[in-house]
Amino acid sequence: MKNTSAVPALALRQALNAWARSNGVMWIYLFKVLLAAGLTLWLAMRFQLPHPSSAVITVFIVMQPQSGQVFAKSVYRLLGTVIGLAVMLTLVALFAQARVLFMVSIAIWIGLCTAGAMHFRDLRSYGCVLSGYTVALIGLPAVMQADTAFMSAVLRVLAISLGIVCSAAVSAAVFPQTSSAALSNALYNRFGTFAGFVADSLRGILERTVMEATGVRYAAEAVGLESLRSVTAFEDPHMRMRSGRLMRLNSEFMALTTRFHALNRLLVRLRQRQAKAVLDAFDSIQAELIEVLDSRRGKPLTEQDAAVLSERLDILRESVRARIRTARHALYEQAPAIIDRRDFETAAELLYRFITELHNYTQTHASLAAPHHEREQWNERFKAKANTMASAVAGIRSGVLILALSVFWILTAWPSGNMFTLNAAAVSALAATTPLPHRTAQQMAFGALVGVTVGFVFNFFLFPHLDGFPLLFMVLGTYFALGAYVSLRPGCMGYGLGSLVFFCFTSIPDNPPVYDPGTFLNTAIAVVLSMFTTAVVSSIILPPNSPWLWRRLERDLRKQLVNVIGHPLPGLANRFDSASRDLLNQAYGLANGNPAVQKELMGWTFTVQEIGHAVIELRQEQARLPDSERYAENTPWQQATRAMGRALARLFLKPSSGNLQRALNAVDSAIACVEEAREPDTQHFEESPLRRIQSFLHFIRTSLLDPHGPLASYAPSETVATGLSHAS
């Protein structure tokens, strides 16, 4: 007989599992935050630390949903704090008697650290932020009593270390959510989505807006996965052993998306000019690949699945070679125009290389099953790209803010002037690393206003009636839970973090506790006013969301093509892929709410990526040329390709109608020279370097003439209309 009592139990277990994977994640995280904060506060009071609030604030800053993120932030927070304290002690020793020189030194140091935080777009950024504002948080109170500076530094390190240890312990031991599991899930699910996207794109059933949005999403995923990979090394030794393969996997996926984007854009242009003969020939080649991709559509790709898919792709590569030869022969029997022949050769080459890179990707993915593998030998890291001017502006903005508030403090002799200045230093450094610093500062200011208001009520109306730690934490924990919940809501992190940090800063009792309404109100006014001042300064002095930074990021994007032409080949493709995607990710976020700017930035990114990869392939092909008179350095076609590189560099450094026309003339000249020197047509395409070089040159030409690309505005209408059908 069927056990009917087991059915409700099974249904309840399934419902609990579904809840735990959705809303349950947030509530479990809130529970862990409260547990870590309570444990830290209890230990800080048991150890009689003078300022338990510093330890609890550390908990709210470093706690993250995943334990790897907690470990990584904790390590860099501790390192940044130690460096900042060392600098602070040095400055106090040098300038304790000269307040003006001390404030100038602090402003310079915080400016340098803020600029460093903007420059290093990884965990080092967090270390720079801590190194900067730690000097202000400890140095400004300490300079008033220089003899206590060293003990203040020691106690600061103890408080931060206590918060870090409690946060890490709770995150790892209580309902752990590991970064390695999140990374594995992201890798497993990414390929299934990508397979469906590629299959639909090859069929030509996706709209241009969908393809562009998907390209932006994959760029953001590449940046996010690299960040996730870097934190898994702190929590999981198994992932640490596979770190090289994970970097390689991300690099190979970037190359995959760039290769497919170039192929897809070429197919779109073929459909626009209705090149039916070429498309029919190409359809016979891609049919088997679409079938393979459809079999993986929407499915997670495990290591075992990747091994099977790798074998299937290896067989597919050989069959595609034969299909290309057959399709080429059938197309040439129709006596097509030169433009059709070149389009077919270019599309076939791109497809074959895409399959090859897909095979490499699945091999690397399959290798993750083994603890050690030869594919672990990979030294090409993700290279984030920051704009030097943007970093300098952020540093100058913070330095000028500290100097201005220091002057106000010195001239007015405000008792809470040091609090006014140090909070502005901390908030400006924290907000500078966000896409919209003024908005972050505004949110933190409003959150702090609520936090200090509630703190005043708690301090002078509730705390005098409490006895013992349980009652104290019951009152504090209510607000902790509310603040942590608000910080998890989309777009509200600044409100929650500001309210939590400054509620703790003003409301958690010191050892011994001091109840002074006048001091409390002065401190509260200084805290709130400093953050509103920071928000105003951040919105006035060259804010990042203004056109000056969009234009500079666009210029940096275009400059990546210049780097491709002139930089050494080893590791060039990985540096190019990662830098262009990181720049797109930054620019797209800064231009939020400006769809016209976002569209232009995407257009430049995609054009730079497809032409840049074509140039890299061309240079790699030239580097592999055999030693013979046909391929000598002084041949006309070699000189013509170098002249084309110079023309492309001028065009992307300074886009204009004249530079575009010169670049097109240089590409046409290079194509003509390669045509004259090319091997006999009887030689197979895969055995003819010059025929492959000619296909890359032809692809560059069609990209320059893309009617939907950003260069179309610099080309005469008749050039765009006839350029794709012109036979050189």
Q: Which two tokens stand for residue 517?
A: 């309404």
Give 73's pLDDT tier (boundaries 50, 70, 90).
confident
How large is the C-alpha radius of gyration of the chain?
30
- Model pLDDT, residue 132: 81
**Residue % of the chain over a pLDDT of 70:** 92
- Model pLDDT, residue 36: 93
Burial class of 81 by CB neighbour count within 10 A (0 to 12, 13 to 18, 19+): buried
| Cβ-contact 615, 258 below 8 angstroms | no
- Secondary element (H or E) of residue 491: none
Encode pLDDT of 100-124 as tens digits.
888 888 889 888 888 888 888 777 8
Query: Which residue is it, tokens 């976020």?
Result: 589
The domain defined by 179-234+243-367 folds into: Methane Monooxygenase Hydroxylase; Chain G, domain 1 (1.20.58)
In angstroms, the CA 692 to CA 635 distance is: 17
Q: Which two tokens stand for residue 687?
A: 């055995």
Average pLDDT over residues 572-579: 85
- Model pLDDT, residue 666: 93
Encode pLDDT of 355-410 as tens digits.
999 999 999 999 988 888 888 887 777 777 777 887 888 888 888 888 888 888 88
Average pLDDT over residues 549-557: 81
Encode pLDDT of 172-185 as tens digits.
888 888 778 788 88
- Model pLDDT, residue 725: 45
Half-sphere exposure of 289 (CA within 13 A, CB side): 31
Higher-pLDDT residue of 384 and 207 is 207
In angstroms, the CA 108 to CA 183 distance is: 39
Answer whether residue 720 shows pLDDT above 60. Answer: no
In angstroms, the CA 613 to CA 700 distance is: 10
DSSP for residue 98: -
Locate the domains of the chain by residue range.
23-177+385-540, 179-234+243-367, 547-723
* Phi, psi dihedral angles at 379 (to 5 degrees): -110, 5
| Cβ-contact 655, 558 below 8 angstroms | yes
DSSP for residue 466: -
Encode pLDDT of 273-315 as tens digits.
888 888 888 888 888 899 999 999 989 889 999 999 999 999 9
| Cβ-contact 446, 495 below 8 angstroms | yes
In angstroms, the CA 500 to CA 480 distance is: 7
In angstroms, the CA 564 to CA 582 distance is: 16
| Cβ-contact 657, 715 below 8 angstroms | yes
pTM, to two decimals: 0.80
Encode pLDDT of 612-663 as tens digits.
988 998 888 888 887 777 777 788 888 999 999 999 999 999 999 999 999 9
Average pLDDT over residues 326-351: 85
- Model pLDDT, residue 93: 83
* Phi, psi dihedral angles at 591 (to 5 degrees): -90, 15
| Cβ-contact 306, 344 below 8 angstroms | no
Question: Please, what is the average pLDDT of the chain?
Answer: 83
Answer whether residue 726 shows pLDDT above 70. Answer: no
